[in-house]
Amino acid sequence: MARDVKFVLEDILGAILKIHRYTTGQTFDTFSADEKTVDAVVYNLERIGQSTDQIPRAQRRAQPDVDWEAVAGFHERLDRGAVDHEIVWDMIHNRLPALEHAIQQMISK
């Protein structure tokens, strides 16, 4: 694996792990009320979305459990002004687990 791709994958995994640390133990209501956590999570989701474009298409195809278009669209969905906390919460709980697993597999190859 090219060094640059490995760096991108490790950066994505680092952002995912930060999001987990920031949101562990929170409910939707506590998350939504915590402006700093929302900002930190949105920032990391945007980084993830921007970084996925740098993963070669063949590597993304090898991980079909991830909706790569949706992941790449994180930053577009979040970069339009007001943040919908329900969308962010859904991303955290329904999209990130599969992405984390796929990124870990890519790094280990």
Per DSSP, 92 falls in state: I
Q: Token digits for 108?
A: 């280990």
Mean of the per-residue pLDDT values for the chain?
A: 91
Q: Residue 1 and residue 16: Cα distance in Å, rounded?
A: 21
Per-residue CA distances from 51 to 24, 26, 29, 31, 82 (Å)? 24, 27, 29, 25, 22
Q: How confident is the model at residue 2 (pLDDT cuts 50, 70, 90)?
A: low
Q: Does residue 3 register a pLDDT over 90?
A: no
The radius of gyration computed from the CA coordinates of the chain, to the nearest angstrom, equals 14
Average pLDDT over residues 10-25: 98
Place of tokens 């697993």: 101
Q: Does residue 20 register a pLDDT over 90?
A: yes
Q: What is the pTM of this model?
A: 0.90
Residues 28-70 have pLDDT tens digits of 999 999 999 999 999 999 999 999 989 999 999 999 999 998 8
Q: What is the pLDDT of residue 1?
A: 60
CATH label of the domain that carries residue 79: 1.20.120
Q: Specify the number of domains making up the chain.
A: 1
Distance separating the N- and C-terminal Cα atoms of the chain? 8
Q: Token digits for 59?
A: 């590597």
Which domain range does residue 79 map to?
A: 3-108
